[in-house]
Amino acid sequence: MTRKERIRKILVFSVYILILSSVQVTFPDFFTFHGQVADLMLVFVVMTGYFYGPIDGAVVGLIVGFIRDYFAGPSLGGNSNIPGATLGIGMLVFMYIGIMSAIFFTKTFHRRLLLGFVQIFIFTIIYKVGGHIMSFLVQILSGRGVEYLSFSHIILDSILPQIAVNLVAAILVILLIRYIGPYKKGVNKLLIEEMDRSGDAWQIV
């Protein structure tokens, strides 16, 4: 990779990370459907990993996760009177989302454009299900009882609306990555060598 390409990659990723993260937490009402905010940060990390590989996915996921912790990190730990703000959970979760989205299904999907939406669908479900499980476990471990959201509430009011808004947000993110992305013509040349087909990696089914 030339120096110019490296600078372009760093600059473009930095701008997208800062803008998408800030927009998500500053205007949550604008991108809301049925109580769920479009998770621009999650979509960006998944698309980065899916299109550009595990290293880009991991690094972008780590940084996005840190910003998520900084802006709105969950409350865990502390003592019974003063709960503590925890740093690091977002970093860990998003780093692994970036890596997994680069590994799972990418060979099957051949990193095709439209199948990126399927990737968003899959990882939104993984994130929401994992989040609810962790939330339930934390609630039990902290002694707040076993009462939690009902199964139908989780499916109808949490997961399905989140999938819908994330898929809509993915349109914007894919357009940004494809046409104003970190790589020329939206292709990470290092990944081309790993793929079966040669030539343009942007295939529409």
**Residues in the site for another protein, rule: CB under 8 A?**
18-19, 22-30, 35-37, 39, 41, 54-55, 58, 62, 66-79, 81-92, 95, 99, 131, 134-135, 139, 144, 147-150, 153, 157-158
Residue 158 C-beta: closest distance to another protein, Å: 7
Q: In whole angstroms, how close is the CB of 3 to another protein at the nearest point? A: 22
Nearest to 163, CA basis, from 191, 106, 123: 123
Q: Give how far Cα 103 sits from Cα of 99, 119, 122, 138, Å.
A: 6, 11, 13, 29
Of residues 76 and 175, the one with the C-beta less far from another protein: 76
Q: What are the C-alpha distances in Å from 145 to residues 56, 124, 137, 141, 153?
A: 40, 27, 10, 9, 18
CB of residue 102 vs another protein: minimum separation in angstroms? 12
Considering beta carbons, is residue 41 or 201 the nearer one to another protein?
41
Record the tokens describing residue 15, joined without a space. Answer: 């701008």
Residue 82, CA atoms < 13 Å, CB-side half-sphere: 0
We find the least distance from the C-beta atom of residue 174 to another protein, in angstroms, to be 21
Minimum CB–partner distance for residue 43 and another protein (Å)? 12
Of 68 and 112, which has the nearer Cβ to another protein? 68
**Residue number, 62 or 115, with CB nearest to another protein:** 62
Task: Name the residue nearer to another protein (CB basis): 66 or 112.
Answer: 66
